[in-house]
Structure 1
Amino acid sequence: MGNGTVLLDDLPLSKFHLRVTAYTTGGMFCDGYILGMIGIALAVWAPQRGLAAATEGLIGASALVGIFLGSLIFGTITDRIGRQTMYLADLALFVVGSVLQFFVAEPWQLVALRLIMGVAIGADYAIGAALLSEFLPRKQRGPLLASLNAVWTVGFVVAFVIGYLMRGLGADSWRWMLASSAVPAVIVLCLRLGTPESPRWLAAQGRREESDQVLAEFFGPDVVLGEEPPEPRRARLAELFTPRWRRRTAFTALFWFCQVLPFFALFTFAPTVLSSLGLRDEFTGGLVLNVFQLAGGVLGVVIMNRLARRGFVLWSFVVLAVSLLPLALSAHPSATLVVASFAVFAFAVSAAGNLETVYPAELFPTDLRATGVGFAAAMSRIGAAIGTFLLPLSLVHLGNQATMAIGVAVLLLGAVVSWAWAPETRHLALSESSGGAGLGGGPMPGDPTSAGAPTPVAEA
């Protein structure tokens, strides 16, 4: 790096950074809104149609299956053709799918539409985190990437509130609930127009002149990227499983899987779960839980740079497991215990869920970032789909205690995986991820596999 130049990683936060963050988090708002609305819409429609538990679970899980496909397929595509095109295309699909939900007549039609919309959401998971991480300076990268998940939570909560208010619109209220996601999707699509391509991706493809033009136009003529791959490389999913990357791949996939399986199972069907546990006003109870969820998401953004990533993910699993344990041990929990346990779970899972948009983006290099994030998101959706599909059946056939015990077991698995494999990435510059000490063949700072590596602790 020559005299008078400054790394993109070391820039002060600018209006451009905030705009791209807003446009990207807007997509996550739509993601959360689309996924959050289905639970309360089904609570209205399922009794009208007399839907079986399996059908209800299939509708709830269909978008999650789509997210699996979208994350897995479009993560690699995004690494090959660029972030910018996909950044717009997925929002366009949100708009079309949202409107078509209004005209659904049969359950299979809703399953098909939710599957397609899930593909777009999965693509957005991979695209948004990759694009945003490649623009942000390292000091603000953690909190601003965490804001993706926090705003996802806002969308999820807003969907529940709007759905709650729409219940009085009559027999077709569920149609208006599902179609309402077109409104934020149109707004975000318009805002994203004009967003530039990632200069890191352009440089990684050998298009250095275009990369320099983006840097000069949006950051200034003296801004540089730092080290990038000397030769362009074509992203391949199989590379994630090479010795160099497979442990990182396994960790990101498993920690995300273990976070979302109990979360989606419990919160997609929050009214149903709360009712089965003896809470009479399940809609109000669900609203209270979503308020705790929102508060946790905000706290997660605030503390993201104050805690080591490794310690944050490990201890969050412990807290989550403890929060559900009383419901696994009590055959007839009181309403107070139910609400308290779910409130702690909602708060903690939302705070820790912010790591889902931070950790994977920091663990892979530019030419493999969207592929790595997409694969981790895809694996997590397997967990989410499994939990969402099986929860209604588990409540009917296994009972409340066994269902909660399964959730505790999954969360404890997440704690073990994090203890064994979680590295530390909090102070990593993305320019190091192209093969430097941070993410190359050598161990990362705080990686438990490195000899003598200190255990990360929270900063004062």
Structure 2
Amino acid sequence: MVLERLEALPVGRFHYKLLLVTGLGWLFDSMDTGLIAFILPVLAKEWGLAPGQMGLIGSIGLIGMALGAVISGTVADRIGRKKVFTITVLLYSIASAFCALSWNYQSLLVFRFLVGFGLGGELPVAATLVSEYAPSRVRGRFIVLLESFWGLGWIAAACIAYFFIPVYGWRMAFLIGALPALYVCLIRLHMPESVRYLLTRGRVDEARQIVLSLEKQLHVPSALFTGETEPVPVVAKASFRELWKKPFMSRTIMLWLVWFGINFSYYGIFMWLPSLVFQQGFTVVKTFEYVLIMTLAQLPGYYCAAWLVDKIGRKYTLSAFLLFSGVASYFFGHASTAATLMMWGSVMSFFNLGAWGVLYTYTPEQYPTAIRALGSGWAAGFGRFGGMAAPMMVGALLARSFGFASVFYMFALVFAAVAVIVLSLGVESKQKDLESLSDELVKAK
């Protein structure tokens, strides 16, 4: 059988190349998202923006991300993961270049919306594609490693902000963010379509050819497929209504709430982090330096989560990382010196981004193949509403003279709440192949 042979493949060059190709897309996504956070304090000074206007610049991209995630997830279950991944990478690259040409506040809002649409569409589709190729024994680790490219992207954004913005200005930063357009060519050459997707669409011969090719690449002794009919996996219909039927309903509720909470906290914190640190009395250059140090802490957070996710499981790793993110947020709000600011900011980055990695692993595993991208896209899309609300809420709180500490008390409470939701509603899925998970879900109906 095609899927048995796909699952039996040893982890090799193909899997790491797929991780690298999709990971680079993730890196550029993150870099672009990070750049706007570093550009905001400079742009606010140059254009005389109020806190509410700064919040809207952060939120408008997230509105685009919400729509992009929902639409792209739906389309990816119909026309394929690879095509949608390519289109979305190209869209956000071109839109980022147009951001550099923005002539006023309104034009920047339009271009940031388009950037967000491309970003939101690419992320859940990439995670779905990698999860459908990685063997179950290493799937959790691979998805968390994929998400770790987000941390590399933020480091790249921080470096661009530190070295380029003070010298060349914010427009150059946006132009650098447009580089992924060149990367689209690599996608076509090195990324196959999902075998599981092809089987659900009845394209069995294409799926077999991909598996045969992979066996050859990985030096696995293989025989030609027999003329027997390939059983097509029994999966749910690709419709939004399926997400709200048993057994998917409780999983959908859990995922939507967790995605909302983690987006709310992440974008509320990190979109405003350079500006909030700057408001504590540090210079622009010092601000970028401190945020760069905090950002570096994301990488060990990812790698720790990558190790734990296949050891103690998705559910407990995710809830623990969310809870410790809340603790770090609380103490970050209390920071009164540069040393404590950087220490608690680094701890917050460590656990927050580790939680993101686990969530991207966990989400596709909650749905069968036919609605995997759809379910992942809707969860991510709903989560973006939290990301939209948070930057504007932070701006409103600051405009009404609420202090630095109050903002982070709010984020601490949100992290704690979503940690409880995962513990109470989450279902463990570590080291189960996707077909077993799909069968369990179908039987549960």
TM-score with structure 2 setting the length = 0.91
How many correspondences in the alignment?
433
C-alpha distance in 2 between matches for 1:142 and 1:187: 29
- 287-296 or 19-28: which moved more? 287-296
Partner of 1:268: 271
Specify whether residues 266 and 99 from structure 1 end up closer, same or farther in structure 2 by C-alpha distance, changes over 3 A only: same
- Judging changes above 3 Å, is the alpha-carbon distance between structure 1 residues 269 and 240 closer, same or farther for their aligned structure 2 residues? same
Match of 2:315 among 297, 300, 310: 310
* Residue in structure 2 matched with residue 282 of structure 1 by the alignment: 287
Tell me the distance in 2 between the aligned counterparts of 1:336 and 1:14.
43
Higher helix proportion:
2
Whether the 8 Å CA contact 2:64–2:120 is kept in 1: the answer is: yes
Alignment-derived partner of residue 254 in structure 1? 257
2:219 is matched with none
1:398-437 superposed Cα distances (whole Å, 9 cap, x missing partner): 2222211111111111111011111111111012233x13
**Shift of residue 265 of structure 1?**
1.2
Q: Structure 2 regions of 5+ residues with no counterpart?
A: 217-221
Q: Which residue in the other structure is 1:190 paired with?
A: 185
The residue that corresponds to 1:353 in the other structure is: 356
Q: Is the CA contact 2:332–2:345 (under 8 Å) kept in the aligned structure 1?
A: no
Letter in 2 for 1:96: I
- Distance in 2 of aligned mates of 1:252 and 1:226: 33
Q: Aligned partner of 2:89: which letter?
A: L
Q: CA deviation at 1:393?
A: 2.1
Contact 2:318/2:359 (8 A) holds in 1? no
One-letter amino acid matched to 2:54: E
State the partner residue of 1:96.
94
Q: Does 1:240 align with 2:235?
A: no
d(CA) in 2 for partners of 1:219 and 1:137?
14
Alignment-derived partner of residue 378 in structure 1: 381
Residue deviations 1:361-385 (CA, integer Å, cap 9, x gap): 1111110110011011112211111
Which residue of structure 1 aligns with residue 46 of structure 2? 48
Question: Which SS does the other structure have where 1:219 is aligned?
Answer: helix
| Distance in 2 between residues matched to 1:379 and 1:161, nearest whole Å | 31
Question: Partner amino acid for 1:257?
Answer: F
Following superposition, the deviation at residue 295 of structure 1 comes to 2.8
Whether the 8 Å contact between 1:226 and 1:431 is mirrored in structure 2 is no
Residues 280-333 of structure 1, C-alpha deviations (whole Å, 9 max, x = no match): 6322211111111233223333433223111101111221111122355x4x73
Q: Which of 391, 395, 401 pairs up with 1:392? A: 395
Alpha-carbon distance in 2 for matches of 1:182, 1:59: 18
* Alpha-carbon spacing, 1:227–1:138, altered in 2? closer, same or farther (3 Å): farther
What corresponds to 1:132 in structure 2?
130
Secondary structure of the 2:163 match is helix
- Which residue type is aligned with residue 45 of structure 1? L
What is the aligned counterpart of 1:367 among 355, 367, 370? 370
Who is 2:338 aligned against? 335
User: Which residue does the alignment assign to 2:297?
Assistant: 292
How far apart are 1:338 and its partner, in Å? 2.5
In the other structure, the counterpart of 2:442 is 440
- For 1:160, the equivalent position in structure 2 comes to 158
Answering whether residue 40 of structure 2 is matched by residue 37 of structure 1, we say: no
- The DSSP-based 3-state class of the residue aligned with 1:72 is helix
Deviation at 1:277, TM superposition (A): 4.1
Alpha-carbon distance change, 226 to 406 in structure 1, aligned in 2, over 3 angstroms:
farther
1:15 aligned to 13, 16, 23, which one? 13
Match of 2:119, SS state, is helix
Look up the match of 1:181.
177
Letter paired with 1:121: L
Q: 1:404 and 2:425 equivalent?
A: no
Distance between the aligned counterparts of 2:248 and 2:117, measured in 1? 25
How far apart are the structure 2 equivalents of 1:388 and 1:34?
Answer: 17
Quote the offset at 1:75 in angstroms.
0.4
The SS at the match of 2:393 is: helix
